[in-house]
Structure 1
Amino acid sequence: MISADLHPQETQRIEELLRYEVLDTEDEKALDELTQLASAICGTSISLISLVDKDRQWFKSRVGIDAPETPREIAFCSHAILQDQVFEVPDALEDERFADNPLVLGGPDIRFYAGAPLVSTSGMPIGTLCVIDTVPKKLDEKQQLALNILAKQVISQLELRLHNRHLQRMQKDQQQIFAVMSHDLRSPFNGILGLSKMLYKKADTLNPERLAQMADGILEASLKVYQLLDEILQWSRNQLGAVQVEVKAMSLHPLIIETLDLMEESFALKKLNIKHSINEDIVAMADANLTKTIIRNLLANAVKYTPEQGHIYIETVSIDGKVQFIITDTGQGIPLEIKDELFCDCVASMCGTQGESGHGLGLSLCGDFARKQQGNLALDKDYVDGAKLILTLPSALKS
Structure 2
Amino acid sequence: MISAALHPQETERLEELLRYEVLDTEDEKALDELTTLASVICGTSISLISLVDKDRQWFKSRVGLDTRETPREVAFCSHAILQDQLFEMPDTLNDERFLDNPLVTGGPKIRFYAGEPLVSSNGLPIGTLCVIDPEPKKLNNKQQLALKTLAKQVISQLELRLHNRHLQRMQKDQQQIFAVLSHDLRSPFTGILGLSKILHAKAETLKTEQLAQMADGILDSSLKVYQLLDEILQWSCNQLGAIHVELKATSLNPLIVETLDLMKDGFELKNINITHDTNEDSVAMVDVNLTKTIIRNLLANAIKYTPEQGSIHIETQTIEGEVQLAIADTGTGVPVDIADELFSECVSSQCGTKGEPGHGLGLSLCGDFARKQKGYLSLDKEYTDGARLILHLPSAH
- Supply the distance in 2 between the matched residues of 1:224 and 1:107 (Cα, whole angstroms): 64
Distance 1:61 1:356 in 2: 48
After TM superposition, give the deviation of residue 232 of structure 1 in Å: 1.0
Q: Find the counterpart in structure 1 of residue 108 from structure 2.
A: 108
User: Is contact 1:249-1:284 (8 Å) kept?
Assistant: yes
Aligned partners of 1:253 and 1:279 also within 8 Å: no
- Amino acid in structure 1 at the alignment position of 2:57: Q
- Overall identity of the aligned pairs, in %: 79
- Cα deviation, residue 305, structure 1: 1.2
Partner of 1:310: 310
Distance in 2 between the 1:119 and 1:279 partners? 50
Name the Cα RMSD after superposition.
1.4
Task: State the AA in 2 paired with 1:184.
Answer: D
Deviation at residue 231 of structure 1 after TM alignment: 0.6
Aligned 8 A contact 1:251 1:280 in 2: no
**Equivalent residue, structure 2, for 1:135:** 135
The whole-number CA distance in structure 1 between the counterparts of 2:150 and 2:330 is 59
* Aligned counterpart, 2:12: 12
Tell me which amino acid in the other structure corresponds to 2:270.
K
Instruction: Please say if residues 379 and 390 of structure 1, whose CA atoms lie closer than 8 Å, have aligned partners that are also in contact.
Output: yes
**What secondary structure, in the 3-state scheme, does the structure 1 residue paired with 2:23 have?**
coil
Letter in 1 for 2:103: L
1:108-160: CA deviation from partner (whole Å, max 9, x where unpaired): 22221111001111222111011112222111222212211211111111011
Rounded Cα–Cα distance in structure 2 between residues aligned with 1:284 and 1:59: 41
Q: Show the counterpart of 1:374.
A: 374
Equivalent residue number for residue 173 of structure 2: 173
Deviation, structure 1 residue 280: 7.1
* Deviation readout 1:225-278 (Å, 9 max, x if unpaired): 110111111111112221111111111122111111111111111111112122
- SS at the partner of 2:242? coil
Amino acid at match of 1:199: L
Which residue does the alignment assign to 1:393?
393
Q: SS of the residue aligned with 2:341?
A: coil
**Contact (CA 8 Å) 1:31, 1:154: kept in 2 or not?**
yes
Moved more, 355-364 or 59-68: 59-68
User: In structure 2, what is the equivalent of residue 3 of structure 1?
Assistant: 3
Q: Which residue of 1 aligns with 2:325?
A: 325
- Cα shift readout 1:77-109 (whole Å, capped 9, x = no counterpart): 111111111001111122222122222223222
Where does 1:208-357 land on structure 2 (aligned, <5 Å)?
Answer: 208-279=208-279, 281-357=281-357
CA distance in 2, matches of 1:32, 1:338: 35
SS at match of 1:345: coil
Which residue matches 2:41?
41
CA distance in 2, matches of 1:28, 1:312: 49
TM-score, structure 2 as length reference: 0.96
In 2, distance between residues paired with 1:233 and 1:381? 31
User: Match of 2:350, as an amino acid?
Assistant: M
Q: 1:279: how far off?
A: 4.8
Distance 2:69 2:392 in 1: 38
Shift of 1:41: 2.0
Aligned match of 1:97: 97
Give me the whole-angstrom Cα distance separating, in 1, the residues matched to 2:150 and 2:245: 37
Structure 1 stretches of at least 4 aligned residues deviating more than 4 Å after TM superposition = none
Give TM-score scaled by structure 1 length.
0.96
Q: Which stretch shifts more, 60-69 or 190-199?
A: 60-69
Aligned partner of 2:86 in structure 1 is 86
What amino acid is aligned across from residue 262 of structure 2 in structure 1? L
CA contact (8 A) 2:281 2:316 kept: no
CA distance in 2, matches of 1:321, 1:48: 43
Deviations 1:190-242 (A, max 9, x none): 10111111111112221222112111111110100110111111111112221
Q: State the partner residue of 1:144.
A: 144
Task: Please state how far the C-alpha of 1:69 moved relative to its aligned partner.
Answer: 1.9
Which stretch of the first structure deviates more once superposed, 130-139 or 185-194?
Answer: 130-139
User: How far apart, in 2, do the equivalents of 1:68 and 1:178 lie?
Assistant: 42
Amino acid paired to 1:214: M
2:72 is matched with which residue? Answer: 72
Task: Give the stretch that moved more between structures: 102-111 or 388-397.
Answer: 102-111
The count of aligned residue pairs is 397
Amino acid at match of 1:389: L
Other-structure match for 2:188 = 188
Paired with 2:273 and 2:48, the residues of 1 have a C-alpha distance of 63
| C-alpha distance in structure 2 between counterparts of 1:143 and 1:169, whole Å | 39
- Matching residue of 1:125: 125
Look up the SS of the partner of 2:353 in the other structure: coil
Match of 1:383 in 2: 383
Distance in 2 (CA, whole Å) between partners of 1:198 and 1:52 is 67
> 1:157: which partner in 2?
157
2-side partners of 1:29 and 1:198: how far apart?
64
Note the C-alpha offset of 1:183. 1.5
Contact 1:2/1:98 (8 A) holds in 2: yes
